[in-house]
Structure formats: C-alpha cells, structure tokens
Structure 1
C-alpha cells in the first residue's frame, strides 16, 4: 500500500498550483461579482494542457487518468479558486474529455478529442429536470428516432455552462420510464451541437439567478424538436445508463476533489487571520475556542482527501467505485462547508464584509451539500449498499 502520489499526479499538482498562484482573491472576487468565467486562468490551463489530462495522447491530451484530473482540480481550488475550480474541471475536462475518451466511437473520438485538447471545443452536461432532480430514472426528455436522426423534446434545469459550450452531453429517454424494463433501460446519451440548435431556434436557455458559484451560469434549457444525427449517440441506444454512471461517479469524485481543495484554501485564510488578529493583545488563534474547531476541520479535509484519491484510483482501474465516490463526495462537501463556517466565525463580523473573500466561499461551499447529489441520497445509498438496510427510496 503506497500513499505517495504518483509522479504524474505530483507534477500536475505543482503545475496547476503555479498557475493558481498568479491570481489573488481580488481576481476571483471580481469574477464572481461580474458573473464572469475566469477566462485568463482557463486559457493558461489550456495552454499547458492541464485541462486535457485525461484525453489520450494520440488525440493531443495527457493520457492520464481521473486521479490526475482530481489532483488538478484540488490544486486549483486550494491555490485560490475555491468553489470556482469545480466547474472548470467538470464541464469540458470530465463531461467532455473523459466521457468521449471512455465511451465515444472512434469517429467521435477523432472528431471531438483533438478539439477538446486544443481548447477549441467546450462541453456541458444535461440530465436534471424540474420533475426529476436526483431521481434520474424519471427523466422525461424524449428522443424519437426519425430516419438517420433523433428528434428531442423536453426541458432541463440547472444546466451549467450552456452559454459557452459548443456541445452538450444530453441524457434522454428513448423508452418512457413507465415502459422500461428494467427501470434503468431506455436511456440514450446524445452529443448535441449547441451552436447549431441555438441558431435554429430549437434549443433555448434562460440563466437562473443564483446565490453563489457565479463564475458560471446555470440555466433552464428548453428543447423543441432538436435534431441530433444518429452517429452522435454516446454508447448504445437504449443502453445509456452505463454511460450515465460513468459520468456521475467521476462527477462526484471531482466534486469531492473541489471540496478538499476549497477546504484547504479556506483553512489557510482562516489561520492567517487568526494569527494576525490580536484584539486582546495576542493572536485569536491562541484561543482553543478558535484553534480546536479549525484543527477538527483539517482532520476532516485529510480524511476526505484519502477517500477521494481512493475513489479516483478505483475508477481508473475499471473497478466498482460507487460507494467510494459517494462517500468522498459526502465527506468532502461537509468538510468544505465546515471549513467555510468556521472561517466565517474566525473572521467574526468582518466575514460579512465583501472586502474579504470569506462570504463568497461561504456561499459557494453550501451548494456542495446538495449537488451533484444531495447528502440524504448519499446516506441512503450507504445504508442500503454498505450496511444492508432496506431500500428507502
């Protein structure tokens, strides 16, 4: 058993931290306030190939795995990005690069992966619906076969990155949920040309005003007779659930990596403040009422990191990792939230001031307990699959 990071992952961490170190908290706060994608950071990640780590080398990528992608995301978050880092590594590097490399046909790989590796093409992912949040089985967006194409109708919600993506990885039903046997049958995953659909007026979207994570917009998406060529199916028609889980588990693992990095960042800011702030003649960090809660959060972050790396390691080897991905997401999201909460308390009233980044990190950390899967559903999964308790949903 070896707990050292592989040399490849260690090099990734060093490289991404070097980029993150160029951008201070004022930069990230401006991006958040302006609701602006961190374009300067993204361009540097693309120029160094840090976004295409999981794209095979033959298509211009790094030829590495989910572990390296998770380490990169963690480093970007820890280096200053905080919660903004997660979407920078989920939207195109994971939803696009990782999924197409794993499930795309040779033709799809040759068409999409070089463009992803060069930064020419970006993607987003659409599964959630107004009446089917965490219950993906009940999605109703329907794709009907029409000759050499599928015609798609439906609605998605909370879809992040639509405004800048070129293609959407879209989860549809080709067999209605009520007719599917088993219930996980009848899913088909499609690669939708967003620019084309928007230009034709068959796909429209409306950004949703949000509390946090404002460096990327999240939108409601309306699909009205969107036509998708049959050669743009990812995986097999009606058998898309296998592709879906190979998207959702990495999503949870990468979300966990973002939580670990965000927790480290917030802890460093809190400890710096607790060392400098001395209203009673000595740093407030000397008080156990301040120090002990921060120390406990540090322990939580370290435990979350271990499970995140384990889950990524399993996924890279093609081994079952559902429970590990869920546990990593659960523990990392809670650690990031506890870090933000304790940092808020450490800063006292100044945490409420927008002059400091703590309020932004506090807002960003809270949503991680709900997405990409609510912690209650994670606990239900653990209870059923790890403890053998009856299914509760």
Structure 2
C-alpha cells in the first residue's frame, strides 16, 4: 500500500500552485463581485496544459487520469481560488474531456478532444430539471428520433456555464420514465451544439440570481425543438445510464477535491489571522477555544483528501467507486463548510466586512453541502448500499 502521490500528480500540484500564486484574494473578490469568469486564470491553465491532463496524448492532452485532475483542482482551490476553482475543472475538463475520452466514438474523440485540449472548445453539463433534481430517473426532457437527428424538448435548471459553452452534454429520455423497464433504461446522452441552437432559437437560457460562486452563471435552460445529429450520441441510445454514472462519480470526486483545497485555503487564512490578532496582548490563536476547532478541521481535511484520492484512483482503474465518491464528497463538503464557519468566527466582527474575503468563503462553502448531490441522499445511499439498511426514499 503506497500513499505517495505519483510523480505526475506532484508535478501537477506544483505547476497549478505556481499559477494560483499569481492571483491574490482581491482578484477572486473582483471576479465574484463582477460575476465574471476568471479568464486570465483559465488562459494560464490552458496554456500550461493543466486543463487537458486527462485527455489522451494522441489528442493533445497529458494522458493522465482523474487523480491528476483532482490534484489540479485541489491545488488551484488551495492556492487562492477557493470555491471558484471547481467550475474551471468540472465544466470542460471533466464534463467534456473525461466523458468524451471514455465514451465517445473515434470520430467524436477526433472532433472534440484536440479542441478541448487547446482551449478552443468549452462544454457544460445538463441533467437537473425543476421536477427531477437528485432523482435523475424521473427526468422528462425528451429526445425523439427524426431521421438522422434527434429532436429535443424539455427544461433544465441550475445549468452552470451554458453562457460560455460551445457544446452541452445533455441527458435526455428516449423512453419516458413511466414506460422504461427497468427504470434506468431509456436514457440517451447527447452532445448539443449550444451556439447553433441559440442562434436558431431552439435553446434559450435565463441566469438564476444566486448567493455565491458568481464567477460562473447558473441558468434555467429551455429546449424547444433542438435538433441533434444522431452521430452525436455519447454511448448507446437508450443505454445512457452507464455514461451518466461515469459523469456523476467524477463530478462528486472533483467536488470533493475542490472542498479539500478550499478548506485548506480558508484554514490558512483563519490561522494567519489567529496568529496576528492580539487584542489582549497575545495572539487569539493561543487560546484553545480558537485553536482546537481549527486543529479539528485540519484532521477532517486530511481524512477527506485520502478518500478523494482513493476514489479517483479507483475510477482511473475502471473499478467501482460509487461509495468512495459519495463519502469523499460528503466529508470534504462538511470539512470545507466547517473551515468557512470557523474562519468567520475567528475573524469576529471583521468577518462581516467585505474588506476581508471571509464572506465569500462562507457563501461558496455552504452550497457544497447540497451539490452535486445533497448530503442527505449521500447518507441514504451509504445506509442502503454499504450498511444493508432498508431503502428510505
């Protein structure tokens, strides 16, 4: 049993940390306040090859795996980006790059992967619907075959990054849920040309005002007769559930990596303040009431990191990783939230001032307990599948 990171992951950690070090908290505060994609950071990452890590070498990528992608995301978050880092690695490197590399046809890989690796093509992912959140089996967005195309009607919600995406990885039903036997059959995953559909008016979207993570918009998406060529099916028609889990498990693992990195960054900020603030003649960090909660968060983050790396390692070897991915997401989200909460408490009244980044940490960390899957559903999954308890939902 070897707990050393491979040399490839160490190189990723150091390289991404170097890029993160070029941008201070004020930069991320401005991007968040202006609701602006961190284009400068994204360009640096693309030019260094740090977004194409998991794309095979023959398509211009690094030929590495989800572990290296998770380390990159963790390093960017820990280096200052915090919660904003997750979207830089989820939207295109994972939802586009990983999914097409594993499930695309040779023609699809040749068409899309070199452009993703070069930073010339961006993607987003659309599964959630107003009446089908975490219960993906009940999605109603319908794709109907029409000659050499599928025609799609439906509505999605909380779709992040659609405003800058070239293509959308879209989860549809080609067999309605009420007719599917078994219920997990009848899914088809499509690659939708967003720009083309917006231009012809069959795809529209409306950003949702939200509390945090404002470096990327999250939108309502309306699909009204979007035509998708049949050769842009990812995986097999009606058998898209296998593709779906190869999207959702990496999403959980990368979300966990972002939580670990964010927690480390927030903990560093809190400890720096605890070392410097001395209202009674000695640093407040000398008080156990301040120090012990911070020390406990450090322990939680180390445990979450171990499970995150294990889950990524399993996925790279195409071994079952559902339990590990869920546990990593659960523990990392909780540790990141506790870090933000204790940073707020450590800063006292100054945490309420926007002169400090603590308010942004607080806003961004809270949503991780709900996405990409609510912690209650993670616990229900663990109870049923790992403990053998009766299904509760």
What TM-score results when the alignment is normalised by the length of structure 2?
Answer: 1.00
Paired with 2:212 and 2:87, the residues of 1 have a C-alpha distance of 13
Residues 214-233 of structure 1 deviation map (CA, whole Å, 9 limit, x = unaligned): 00000000000000000000
Paired with 1:239 and 1:97, the residues of 2 have a C-alpha distance of 20
Deviation (angstroms), 1:28: 0.3
Paired with 1:92 and 1:377, the residues of 2 have a C-alpha distance of 26
Residue aligning to 1:127: 127
Residue aligning to 1:392: 392
Residues 245-271 of structure 1 deviation map (CA, whole Å, 9 limit, x = unaligned): 000000000000000000000000000
Mapping for residues 1-393 of structure 1, pairs under 5 Å: 1-393=1-393
Deviation (angstroms), 1:359: 0.4
Q: Give me the CA root mean square deviation.
A: 0.3
Paired with 1:84 and 1:188, the residues of 2 have a C-alpha distance of 30
- TM superposition outliers: structure 1 runs of 4+ over 6 Å: none
Deviation (angstroms), 1:170: 0.1
In structure 1, list runs of 5 or more residues that go unmatched. Answer: none
Paired with 1:379 and 1:3, the residues of 2 have a C-alpha distance of 27
Deviation (angstroms), 1:183: 0.6
Residues 146-170 of structure 1 deviation map (CA, whole Å, 9 limit, x = unaligned): 0000000000000000000000000
Paired with 1:384 and 1:17, the residues of 2 have a C-alpha distance of 39
Paired with 1:299 and 1:18, the residues of 2 have a C-alpha distance of 25
Deviation (angstroms), 1:356: 0.4
Tell me the SS of whatever aligns to 2:162: coil
Paired with 1:246 and 1:87, the residues of 2 have a C-alpha distance of 18
What TM-score results when the alignment is normalised by the length of structure 1?
Answer: 1.00
Paired with 2:105 and 2:390, the residues of 1 have a C-alpha distance of 39
In structure 2, list runs of 5 or more residues that go unmatched. Answer: none
Paired with 2:154 and 2:69, the residues of 1 have a C-alpha distance of 32
Residues 28-78 of structure 1 deviation map (CA, whole Å, 9 limit, x = unaligned): 000000000000000000000100100000000000000000000000000
Deviation (angstroms), 1:329: 0.1
Paired with 2:360 and 2:263, the residues of 1 have a C-alpha distance of 13
Paired with 1:136 and 1:352, the residues of 2 have a C-alpha distance of 38
Tell me the SS of whatever aligns to 1:83: helix
Tell me the SS of whatever aligns to 2:372: coil
Paired with 1:358 and 1:309, the residues of 2 have a C-alpha distance of 27
Count of residues paired in the alignment: 393
Deviation (angstroms), 1:26: 0.3
Tell me the SS of whatever aligns to 1:282: coil
Deviation (angstroms), 1:209: 0.1
